[in-house]
Amino acid sequence: MGEPTTHPGQPAVIETRLFINNEFVPSRSGNKFHICNPATEALGASVYEADAEDVELAVAAAQAAFPAWSELGGLQRAAARSISKQMGRPARREPRRDLLPGCHHHGQACVY
């Protein structure tokens, strides 16, 4: 596998860290997995792989944030959800046709 490739409409830099406790952090283990285009086998990115320790940290952060979240009004929560959805949305709006059957789908990624 070579260097990551970009396509029109795709950001040149892809965030590869985990989002835990309102910040991007590498996984505790430092392990990564490759995401590639199954049609060309071009490397899309190498992203950090969460393990049980990372999940425990994320769950603890979510539990700590819940009291403040539950105090927010409906409009504030709706705005926060909208922002979260925008952050996770792919830059392109058209359907991804480069994902093929036989690979493991993780959101918009295809992992071997």
Using CA atoms, how far apart are residues 61 and 66, in angstroms rounded to an integer? 9
Q: Does 111 score more than 80 pLDDT?
A: no
Exposure letters 84-97 (e unless 16+ CB within 10 A, then b):
eeeeeeeeeeeeee
Q: pLDDT, tens digit, for every residue of 55-104? A: 999 999 999 999 988 888 888 878 777 766 666 554 444 444 444 444 44
Over 90: is that where the pLDDT of 27 sits?
yes
Q: In the Cβ-directed half-sphere of 79, how many Cα atoms lie within 13 Å?
A: 6
Q: What is the 3-state secondary structure (H, E, C) of the chain?
A: CCCCCCCCCCCCCCCCCEEECCEEECCCCCCEEEEECCCCCCEEEEEECCCHHHHHHHHHHHHHHHHHHHHCCHHHHHHHHHHHHHHHCCCCCCCCCCCCCCCEEECCEEEC
| pLDDT recorded at residue 11 | 60
- pTM for the model stands at 0.59
